[in-house]
Amino acid sequence: MHDFQYKNETLFCEDVAIPKMAEAVGTPFYLYSTATLTRHFAAFDRAFAGIPHITCFAAKSCANIAILRLFASLGGGADIVSGGELFRARTAGVDPQKIVYSGVGKTADEIREALSAGILMLNVESEQELAMIQTVAADLGVKAPVSFRVNPDVDPKTHAYISTGLAKNKFGIPITEALRVYLAASKLSNITIKGVSCHIGSQLTQVAPFVESLAKVKRFIGQLSEQGISITHLDLGGGLGIRYNAEEPPEPAEYARAIKQELAGLACTLILEPGRVIVGNAGALITKVLYTKEGLKKFIIVDAGMNDLARPSLYDAFHLIQAVERPNREQAVADVVGPICETGDFLARERAMPKVEADDLLAVMSAGAYGFSMSSNYNSRPRVAEVLVHGDAFHVIRTRETYETLIQGESIPEFLVS
């Protein structure tokens, strides 16, 4: 459910007409609904009521500080994967004790920043990373709180690029080797073991893979207990999918019931890292038609490209595309493409689309997750504005980049200056 609805054949976000915003901020731009973000966060968090838990929003999915601040105000934390995301989370006012840090390639400087900030824990992904954390923590004179990301070798039944829990994936420590690593960590002077972490992938549309991985991790926690290693936090990651097209993902309540049932008898604080399920359908990319072209096939050329929304080109992902005005007009099959100099620059292919003309607006739906956060300056295109609607008002939460910002930090060396 989301708050993008037609009123008198014009698409609104909450109580603001999208053409009004397009006129004010230009196109393309990302658009988010505060009401949808709030409702989705609450629905997920409430589903785990009754058990100790922290809902740590996956910042990589949508990292704008206004959105991180909204979730922090609702009691949420942050799942981060870089020093930049740590900086964003702290700037947004996220409680450090609700921040968990994942990722296979943390640098010494990033580890130092995280320990200095006093975050809840680092999710360790390799033995060499553990050694680096020990070195940095000793240098700081602190004990580093850690969890190890355990790879349970479970097929999440999702796109290969967003599967993370199989033995062939780069993430985590194989569950068959994890006990040895935990025992080694328990002997390190500047390491405090707090938890076990497990994240098997993204855009999962079935509960079964979550339950299967949790069952393996639960047995593993029992093995740790037998060795005298107590676990206070269990990080189950995120990954719950959303409806883009014909998917039928479980609702958060169904997911939570299955997790709670499998958790029975385990005394741990549960860490959850939802991202897409909260923000995906809360955002849209608004773009303007530049031209239409017909030959062997029909093309709708818009001002948003693969640098603005990478998912269709990267994953062949489906996003519903709607006309912002007069949605029920006659349709024709077309490719919706952008201005990037790549054949792979498309938002939709062979799609039944409303017959649009130059200057018409289109809304690329379900773009709140991994939309702006994956955007780039490819073809020297300034990154777009981000807008947050709250009731009958809208707020620009990121201004559109300019040509000047494109070359910020670049310079011409003296030997090239005539």
Residues annotated as part of the active site: 341
Residues facing residue 130 across a β-bridge: none
Which residues neighbour 246 within 8 Å (Cβ) at sequence distance 6 or greater?
A: none
Q: Which of 152, 100, 106 lies closest to 125 in space, CA to CA?
A: 106
Residue 22: its H or E element: helix 18-25
Task: Answer yes or no: are the C-beta atoms of 63 and 92 closer than 8 Å.
Answer: no
Q: Across the strands, what pairs with 7?
A: 10
Torsion, Cα of 334, 340, 344, 350 (10° steps): 0
Q: Could you tell me the strand order of the sheet in which 4-7 lies?
A: 4-7, 10-13, 16-17
370 is an annotated ligand-binding site residue: yes
Q: Is 76 annotated as a binding residue?
A: no
What are 185's two structure tokens? 């960590």
237 is in an annotated binding site: no
Q: How far apart are CA 236 and CA 299, in angstroms?
A: 43
DSSP state of 204: B
Does 311 carry a binding-site annotation? Answer: yes
- Contact partners, residue 274, CB within 8 Å, separation at least 6: 44, 55, 57, 58, 238, 240, 252
249 annotated as ligand-binding = no
Say which residues have a Cβ less than 8 Å from residue 137's Cβ, sequence separation at least 6.
115, 143, 144, 190, 191
276 is in an annotated binding site: yes
- The response to whether 222 counts as a known ligand-binding position is no
Summarize the annotated binding site as residue ranges. 239, 273-276, 311, 315, 342, 370
Q: Which residues make up each annotated binding site for pyridoxal 5'-phosphate? A: 239, 273-276, 370
Q: Which residues are annotated as a binding site for substrate?
A: 276, 311, 315, 342, 370
